[in-house]
Structure 1
Amino acid sequence: MLSREWFTAAALAALALPGLPRAKKNVTALAKRAGWQHPEAEGRLWRRRRGGGGGIEYHCSVLPAKAQAALARIFAAGAAGAAGGAAREALVAGELWAWFERQPETKKATARARLEALEAVAALVRSGVGRRAAVRQVAALRGVAPTTLYNWQRLVAGVPRQDWLPRLAPQYGTAGRGAACSPEAWEFLKADYLRPEQPNFADCYRRLAATAAEAGWTVPSARTLLRRLAALPEGLRVLTRQGAAALQRLYPAQARERGVFHALEAVNADGHVWDVFVRWPDGEVARPVMVAFQDIYSGMILSWRVDRTENKEAVRLAFGDLVERYGVPDHCWLDNGRNFASKWLTGGVPNRYRFKVRDDEPHGLMTALGVQVHWTTPYSGQSKPIERAFRDFAQGLAKHPAFAGAWTGNDPRAKPANYASRAVPLDTFLEVVAAGIAEHNARPGRKSEVCRGRSFAEAFAESYARAPIRRASAEQRRLWLMAAEGVMVRRADASIHLEGNRYWADFLLAHRGRRAVVRFDPQALQEEVHVYRLDGTYLGAAPCVEAAGFADVAAAREHARRRRAWLKGYRQMAAAERTLSVEQVAALLPKAPAEPPAPPPKVVRLVQGGAALRPAAAEEEDDTPLDERLFVAAVRALRAGRSGPQLRVVAEEEAGAED
């Protein structure tokens, strides 16, 4: 049994174990290839390093047998040898360098300045100057006390020269220190704050303070607890306060390369309702519906038809225009609506309305032409790139000057002031739409990976002239150039885009919307990149999120599996963090104090008529104070004509003063 079982990549590289690389990045690459960092193996084969800086640690069981044997020899109980001592020193040095890399640039600069001072002292000593004189000279030049230089020398005493720099870095920090907080108070705060109602922190802290005062918990300041909540993983806070849908949006969407196709190899279709009132030849005023087919490779709109509704005839006519003008595509992505799933169009192809294909069912137009039909996910814009073109039409073409007064607004709550003031004749509408789609296809400056500044029509024409040459897809791959360092971490999903590649890691969630420094190998952009903050603090390695082919079903399933595993991990983390339910939080809140009894009156006002002072029917013992009873008895004696000492005796007898 080893005395130590968990090691960082830097420590394993420094140990120079047989069968393992000697560089940290190569050990990390080996861990990914061998599956050491599989999400389901967390806690068993790998874990997140505790303490400042974080990182990943691997269990010794993942190492080759020879490497494990070497570790056993190094860490054997009672082993004391030169080889073992050197190995342990190398392990410490490797971890120290890994810690140094995670520090901000200010600490690194301080360490370099201290190293220069020690080098200056050593140079003076080598030139014949006494050590004390050399220390005094360098201390005067550096503006520090000689004792400071001696302290720096003690930090590196007995340490190899190549490991001085990390040891000279300032060791101050907040790790291991912090204001005292009762575990019950911390669990109470997490259970109250990490819930879908998204309560304000100030309200949660106020409830915590009230409960802690009654339960006797120790609670630090509000700022301290707010920092501790902010230190929780970003994904955990998003899941518990905003829900799984919000957390899922933080996971990068799967990218699909259009360059795997050539022109007309794959198309997609959908319907679009125009936000324009049109007057049809029979006098009816209604919003028209357009069915359009788009080339997936270039983004060019190939054919379209307009009708009053989205029906199978409009879909079929639009597809017929496509085939007549350009040819037959090999693949077609269609919406799951009944009009596109009509047997006259896709007969013989199973879909969500037709799970069984009968032998006597007539083959539809696409099936007869050998078009492979794919059904898209409902309300999924990524599955239907034509949705992006429809958005351009709704924002620009629907507001054409020729449609003034006929635009309906894109939302029932955003109706224009001239709503329904006119309706555009159908012929005028078709003429303007035809010109607008032609301009949309010919507009230069498109920034897709296929157009590269050209128009959709130009990109389509270039590939169409070579289509069916299969090398066309290979020639579409661009040569990526090295980018300047300093990129933006996307706010939407915390991904980094660099030279057409996307990189993502879980730690980037806490840095969304911020700029970062990326260091990478321009010859290996498919490997991970190392991300630093602008101040030089090392954040971690972000692997490349590989783009899959548009029709790559296996890649889509693998992407969905990884995302489910990622979401499952955060759900388990949320369950572990919240040990109290909201009901338990409510039960722990202090009870409202009971209403205090009314204080006894200091002054008593006499009521007209002596009978009202003491009810005659009262049989129970009178608990009226003695002085008040004397006063009432004296008043009665006066009314009866008593005076002087006689008045006093009568009053005391009636009031029961002998008690």
Structure 2
Amino acid sequence: MVTVGQRPWLTMTEIAALKLPDMPDSRQGVLKKVTVENWLEPETEGQAWRHREGQGGGYEFALTILPLRAQIEAARSLQGLSRDPVAAAESETIGKRKRAALWKHYDTLPNKLKDKARNAYRILDAVEALVSAGQRKYVAMMLIASQERVSMRTIQFWYKRVRGLNKCDWLAALAPNYARPSERMHCPCEAWDILVSDYLRLEAPTFASCYARLVKIAEARGWTLPSRRTLLARINALPVPMRVLAREGSEKLKALYPAQRRDHSVFHALEAVNADGHKFDVFVEWPIGDETRIVRPVMVGFQDIFSGKILSWRIDISENKETVRLAFGDMVERYGIPKLCYLDNGRNFASKWLTGGVPNRYRFKVRDEEPLGILPQLGVEVHWTKPYSGRSKPIERAWRDIASDISKHPAFAGAYTGASTTAKPENYASKAVPLETFISVVAEGIADHNARTGRRSDVCKGKYSFDQVFEASYRRSVITKASAEQRRLWLLPAEQITVSRRDGVVEIEGNRYWAEFLEEHRGTKVVVRLDPQDLQADIHVYRMEGVYLGAAKCVAKTGFADKDAARRHQQAYKAYARANRDLAEKTKRLSDEELAAVFASLPREEEPPMESTVTRMFTAPQAQGNTALATQFMAEAEAREIEEEESDENILRFLKRSR
């Protein structure tokens, strides 16, 4: 054995001595195989075989001419003899690549060409069966060629195709490998760029119009274009996703990509919720003060992700942060506090009053001084989703059902607006439904939506309704309920409301609220929390610094001649007065007589008379009239008498001293 160019060359004796698989173990057997399979083809000289140099002559063969298993085993056996240790590994790698290429080509062929390969394999297999039975190979090929009506040359050509391969790879090697057709007709690069750029536009022009414009340019510039059919085939050969993106937009491209299927059963009832708003395609009469406006109401709802049930909803003129807060409060009030909440990063859902302080809140800047939102205060983990994304918010799918079922309700005939401006019904805007009717129909529709059986979700399994699976999971789940203090968080605040000085009444939107504790805060300003859509409910009153005072009930207005209301009012006042009277009696421990006796028992000390060492002449005030003049005259006369008496006393004292 010698190596040339770092590739081993083996004689027939050396091949037989290695006792390789799929090869004879004698020199005569190897020579027979060489003769039958025509290894010594002139065109493969120097690559697969060569004349042996040196004494004795003969032939030497490369490992690549051997069957694949024989190549691998020969490389392993010769690993220590070869001067290049990587020769065996190189041979094995080449064999693997050749097999992979053969089967890859076979897999791309149509069935018509695969049938030709199967027929050739069947014929060669029949020849091998005769050889195994003891028949000479040349005779076997003649017999099979006559029987199958193929030429000996064709069978020899097929054997040439499978030479050096394991029989398990013969089918792939026998597959037709027709030469590629001649080079397709050339299209000028600039013309192709113009056609592609014109066709791949969001306006989605037809290929016919693009080709017609290209023909005009080609005639002006002297270009020779392929046929219209050829260019259309080349356009259609462009990747489909790229064409969809360029002509129909990113949303259509997104629809081509397989949607992510999310398993809702990983949650339990109320563990995770999602929320969104929906604008109804219905005209509604909405009272605002003394006026009535025609609007399309908006509903904000919260949905349980596990079951798909709509847990709470509120309706307003627009989607605003107050409606979101109240809808969230309704859900917590009735069912409890969820652990996870999926919201889109819209302005109303990302408001500071709802999600303030959440670290990943990117709609607004997260400021250190901003108040902590309701969801973080309740320990709800917020996850943001893309707006208008039904894949990340299942409630989007629920809105489609509701829009189809509720908006086209018989009670809304004539008020339905249509799904778009181009799909208006013939009776468009012929009427608007009253708000009370609209709310009752929506409530009934949502109840039906939750109670409908046979839902095909992964939780309902085509049998149950949203209500049923939610109730079953809710009963066996650990649910966190909100405390009385937490329930007041989602009520809307109204600041600087002045308590009446007269009777302690708080008045909001024409409604009066009163509680006994308000009498202690008459004339002061307070903060109240209330539900603006339920002004008959209690309001909660706080001091301006945030100290909770209590709840005040609504004092309803009654008819002037309503005797029952007057009697109830009088009874309530008597109870109020009696309670305060009893409280006063318990607080006042001493009677009036006992209190007077306490003060009478105190010792009394008489104060000595006080004398002043400084006197001042009395001067009567000036006045007019007879009485005033008489008073002035008498005062002047008394003053003169005092002066005369003082003068006499002074003379007597002077005489005493002179004696």
TM-score (normalised: structure 2): 0.52
Q: Does 1:458 align with 2:468?
A: yes
Aligned to 1:410: 419
Matches within 5 A, 1:568-607: none
2:300 alignment partner, one of 259, 266, 291: 291
Matches within 5 A, 1:613-624: none
Given residue 291 of structure 1, which amino acid in structure 2 is its aligned partner?
V
Aligned to 2:453: 444
Task: State how far apart, in whole Å, the 1-side matches of 2:284 and 2:211 are.
Answer: 59
Query: 1:320 offset after TM fit, Å?
Result: 2.1
Task: State how far apart, in whole Å, the 1-side matches of 2:239 and 2:296 are.
Answer: 48
CA 1:178–1:410 in 2, change beyond 3 Å: closer, same or farther? same
TM-score (normalised: structure 1): 0.52
1:160 alignment partner, one of 159, 166, 169: 166
Query: 1:328 offset after TM fit, Å?
Result: 0.6
Which stretch shifts more, 202-211 or 143-152? 202-211
Aligned to 1:551: none
Task: State how far apart, in whole Å, the 2-side matches of 1:391 and 1:101 are.
Answer: 45
Aligned to 2:183: 178
Q: Does 1:110 align with 2:116?
A: yes
Task: State how far apart, in whole Å, the 2-side matches of 1:103 and 1:231 are.
Answer: 18
Task: State how far apart, in whole Å, the 2-side matches of 1:289 and 1:192 are.
Answer: 43
CA 1:447–1:161 in 2, change beyond 3 Å: closer, same or farther? same
- Whether the 8 Å contact between 2:199 and 2:206 is mirrored in structure 1 is no
Alignment partner of 2:277: what SS? Answer: strand
Task: State how far apart, in whole Å, the 2-side matches of 1:81 and 1:371 are.
Answer: 66
Aligned to 2:106: 100
In structure 1, list runs of 5 or more residues that go unmatched.
4-69, 470-659
- Whether the 8 Å contact between 2:195 and 2:211 is mirrored in structure 1 is no
Q: Does 1:370 align with 2:370?
A: no
Given residue 463 of structure 1, which amino acid in structure 2 is its aligned partner?
S
Q: CA deviation digits over 1:467-510, x for unaligned, max 9?
A: 249xxxxxxxxxxxxxxxxxxxxxxxxxxxxxxxxxxxxxxxxx
Task: State how far apart, in whole Å, the 1-side matches of 2:171 and 2:429 are.
Answer: 75
Aligned to 1:428: 437
Q: Does 1:330 align with 2:336?
A: no
Query: 1:184 offset after TM fit, Å?
Result: 3.8
In structure 2, list runs of 5 or more residues that go unmatched.
6-75, 480-659
Alignment partner of 2:389: what SS? Answer: coil
Aligned to 2:126: 120
Query: 1:393 offset after TM fit, Å?
Result: 0.9
Matches within 5 A, 1:630-641: none
Q: CA deviation digits over 1:183-215, x for unaligned, max 9?
A: 546655555555426554445555656666776
Alignment partner of 2:105: what SS? Answer: helix
Alignment partner of 1:304: what SS? Answer: strand
Query: 1:241 offset after TM fit, Å?
Result: 4.7
Matches within 5 A, 1:160-559: 160-172=166-178, 175=180, 177-181=182-186, 184=189, 187-188=192-193, 192-193=197-198, 195-196=200-201, 198=204, 200-202=206-208, 204-205=210-211, 219-242=225-248, 247=253, 250-252=256-258, 256-279=262-285, 284=292, 285-349=294-358, 351=361, 354-359=364-369, 362-453=371-462, 454-468=464-478
Task: State how far apart, in whole Å, the 1-side matches of 2:92 and 2:351 are.
Answer: 76
Alignment partner of 2:315: what SS? Answer: strand
Query: 1:392 offset after TM fit, Å?
Result: 0.8
Aligned to 2:484: none
Q: Tell me how large the CA RMSD over aligned residues is.
A: 4.0
Aligned to 1:14: none
Alignment partner of 1:399: what SS? Answer: coil
Task: State how far apart, in whole Å, the 2-side matches of 1:83 and 1:345 are.
Answer: 67
- Whether the 8 Å contact between 2:271 and 2:340 is mirrored in structure 1 is yes
Larger radius of gyration: 2
Task: State how far apart, in whole Å, the 1-side matches of 2:85 and 2:358 are.
Answer: 72
Alignment partner of 2:311: what SS? Answer: strand
Query: 1:440 offset after TM fit, Å?
Result: 0.9
Given residue 264 of structure 1, which amino acid in structure 2 is its aligned partner?
L
Q: CA deviation digits over 1:290-330, x for unaligned, max 9?
A: 22111122211001122344344433332222112110112
Aligned length: 396
Alignment partner of 2:126: what SS? Answer: helix
Alignment partner of 1:439: what SS? Answer: helix
Which stretch shifts more, 455-464 or 297-306? 455-464
Given residue 159 of structure 1, which amino acid in structure 2 is its aligned partner?
L
Q: CA deviation digits over 1:361-381, x for unaligned, max 9?
A: 554443332223344434434
Given residue 389 of structure 1, which amino acid in structure 2 is its aligned partner?
A
Query: 1:115 offset after TM fit, Å?
Result: 0.8
